[in-house]
A and B are shown apart, each in its own frame.
Chain A
Amino acid sequence: MQFDILLQQILNGLVLGSVYALIALGYTMVYGILQLINFVHGDVLMVGAMVGVTVVGILATSGLPLPLILVIAVACAIPVCVILSLLIERVAYRPLRNAPKLAPLITAIGLSIVIQTLAMIIWKPNPIVFPDLLPTKPIEIGPALLAPKQMLILVVSAVLMIGLLLLVNRTKLGRAMRATAENPRIAGLMGVNANQVIAVTFAIGASLAAVAGVLVAMNYNIAQFSMGFIPGLKAFTAAVLGGIGNLGGAVLGGLLLGIIESLGAGYIGDITGGFLGSNYQDIFAFVVLILVLVFRPSGLMGERVADRA
């Protein structure tokens, strides 16, 4: 196993994993408070990416400096995603808070279909190209190469994750969020408005997803109405891997999943003697999910929970 290839794979994995971590944070926050898998989160990401790519397309010929265009794109994507996410919470999840678990799940799947179809109608089914806004000359890190946009992903993700952790652990709002996650009714007795906290949670998750969406589109130079599903699913796997409901776990799970996927796709040909190739990459997330749920359902950093029916 050559070291430089290994390092390259690990770096790629970290880039991939940072994006997963950003999305996973959204899943895990909502699950912590509502015990609900927000199936639509992947599509919120997709909307962020589509808005971003549209803004970039409009501004590409305006002569503004390219990095500024990127910032504007993200600044436009975030409010759209936040409003979308708040709408979803209000219309679909809030009425079903006391319904059996099946109802919000089916509703979420239905909403996912609606949002994807609307995106397909608005932006047309064909993929849209996201042009390179940053210089493409790779940076050298030891024997491995990292494109500037990959570096940007790592930096932005790290900043956002640290910011979120600070928010949750050091601010009054964060305390309210943690209290609501632990016990909404008692939190209410302590003067915390649960509905408000839930709305804020969705909003923060949506903002992270919007940024992640633009980053994914930037990384792969492409955006399409169907792009939210697979990253959403993998990010959910990451959240479960780290321990759902646990923010640090989501970050850890995301990074770990990214590395597993990267290394797996890179080496699977060697391991299976050429039988399975890197086109099986998507399976890794599912296999990891099944293994985690069978052997350690509370995840890496979660507390042991008893089996609930």
Chain B
Amino acid sequence: MQFPSFKDKPVAAYGATAVITLALLALPFLAGTQGNGWVRIIDFALLYVMLALGLNIVVGYAGLLDLGYVAFYAVGAYLYALLSSPQLAENFEFIRQMFPNGMHNSIWLVVPLGAGLAALFGALLGAPTLRLRGDYLAIVTLGFGEIVRIFLNNLNAPINITNGPQGITNIDPIEIAGVSLGKTQTFFDIEVPSVYLYYYLFLILAIIIIIVTIRLQDSRLGRAWMAIREDEIAAKAMGINTRNVKLLAFAMGASFGGVAGAMFASFQGFVSPESFTLMESVVIVSMVVLGGMGHVPGVILGAILLYAIPEVLRYVAKPAQLAIFGHELIAPEALRMLLFGLSMVLIMLYRPAGLWPARQHGTAADAAADDKASGEAKPAATGSGQS
């Protein structure tokens, strides 16, 4: 089922767009009838979509396996937390004097700052890894992620910056144009709770990120990334500055993670190192790889599935096991991890390109799909199609 082309079938195309837009706008209200918990799940799913798309730039486009992505998420989250909570004011006299009303900063300052700091960390991570191959790169990035987490966990002595394992609390919710997203607001007599407001914010951000990544795909930079992914030496021979391009991949991917992190901090109101473990990185990598590496719809699908299914399982697992076995065999948390690991193994064994992969360039399937899209009847493609 192909989305109707705007050029050939404008009515269908605009119609479909309108339907999808209305559905997305109404979604929180529909889901909210079952309780705010479901809307929270959707909000977190959107956060993970943002993270997965950011990682997709590094892993999917540039082919650089990054197992420490959660570090950038953490950087964005902690920066937001430090700039929008009492943490710094409580622990440092000079900050208390500079900001007598407490640290409350506008999101227009903090979010770009978070993205920028994350991008800097991305470049810092990328710099020593430029010559590394797949396996080694994975382990080094894993180490980097762990180093960041250990620092966050321990920077509470001798000077308390991150408050260690207890985390930072009382983080301001986001305020846009005077409207705080942390409280229920009323528009045109409709009551919109905070969870719904955050949904719209995350939806807008996710759409922006989706548009950016799709445009990047066809840009010169995007093609440079894919060239490096396929064959780095050939890319270099074609004149691509692989060093800069790789650093850009890390930095840009990281910046998306930083933005998502800032959103996470404001949404949850609380950050601690526990949210930024290696497992999180693995989950995000799985979303990209199992969804379809380098293919934006696949990555979005992967993110939504891999976040939503475990959450649904949490509600469903116990009743299902009671019904089938008469008692609870496996705790929902353990079942979730088990199925997660199993799905990674099974998908890699049987569908290594992911659930919804990109079309392979230069193959017969690609040529056939192109023919169908342009609506012309072409003679059957020979061994290698041309696109």
Contact = CB atoms under 8 A, between A and B. Distances in A.
Interface in A261-309: 274-277, 279-280, 282-283, 285-287, 289-290, 293-294, 297, 307-309
Interface in B113-153: 128-129, 131-136, 138-140, 142-144, 146-147, 150-151
B209 interface: no
A159 B146 CA distance: 34
A236 B231 CA distance: 27
Nearest to A112: B341
Nearest to A240: B136
A290 B143 contact: yes
B238 interface: no
A274 B158 CA distance: 7
Interface stretch (A66-74, A116-124, A126-134, A148-156): A116-124
B150 A289 contact: no
B345 A103 contact: no
Contact of A121 (B138, B140, B154, B330): B330
Interface stretch (A13-21, A91-99, A190-198): A91-99
Given A111-B341, A293-B128, A277 B157 contact: yes
Nearest to A92: B345
Contacts of A36: 135
A106 B134 contact: no
Contacts of A103: 348, 352
* Chain A, interface residues (CB within 8 Å), range: 35 or more
A101 B348 CA distance: 11
B138 A105 contact: yes
Given A101-B134, A290-B140, A309-B232, A120 B345 contact: no
Interface in A67-114: 92, 95-96, 99-107, 109-114
Given A102-B289, A107-B348, A297-B136, A117 B128 contact: no
B286 interface: yes
B343 to A, nearest CB: 7
A106 to B, nearest CB: 5
A106 B286 contact: yes
Interface in A204-222: none
Nearest to B130: A294
B349 interface: yes
Interface stretch (B10-18, B98-106, B247-255, B332-340): B332-340
Contacts, number: 120
A66 B184 CA distance: 66
A37 interface: yes
A37 B139 contact: yes
A286 B282 contact: no
Contacts of B138: 37, 105
B233 interface: yes
Given A113-B344, A240-B136, A289-B143, A121 B128 contact: no
A112 B67 CA distance: 15
Contacts of A240: 136, 139
Contact of A92 (B139, B289, B337, B349): B349
Q: Which of B143, B154, B349 has the most CB of A within 10 A?
A: B143
A297 B345 contact: no
For the residues of A in contact with B, the DSSP-based class is helix
Given A286-B143, A290-B140, A102 B154 contact: no
A290 B65 contact: no
B364 to A, nearest CB: 21
B342 interface: yes
Contacts of B334: 117, 120-121
Interface string B142-178: 1110110011001001100000000000000000000
For the residues of B in contact with A, the DSSP-based class is helix
A110 B132 contact: no
A309 B146 contact: no
Interface string B259-286: 0000000000000000000100010011
A110 B146 contact: no
Nearest to A282: B150
Contacts of A112: 341
A114 B150 contact: no
A77 B140 CA distance: 31
A268 B205 CA distance: 43
A103 B143 CA distance: 20
A249 to B, nearest CB: 15
B94 to A, nearest CB: 19
A277 B135 CA distance: 31
A114 B345 contact: yes
A96 B348 contact: yes
A293 B158 contact: no
Contacts of B128: 290, 293-294
A110 B341 contact: yes
Nearest to B338: A117
A106 B338 contact: no
Nearest to A113: B341
Nearest to A37: B135
23 contacts: A37-B135, A37-B139, A100-B352, A101-B134, A106-B286, A107-B348, A109-B341, A109-B344, A110-B345, A111-B341, A114-B345, A120-B334, A236-B139, A240-B139, A276-B154, A279-B154, A289-B139, A290-B140, A293-B128, A294-B128, A294-B131, A297-B136, A307-B131
Closest 6 CB pairs of A and B: A110-B344, A113-B341, A286-B143, A114-B341, A110-B345, A117-B337
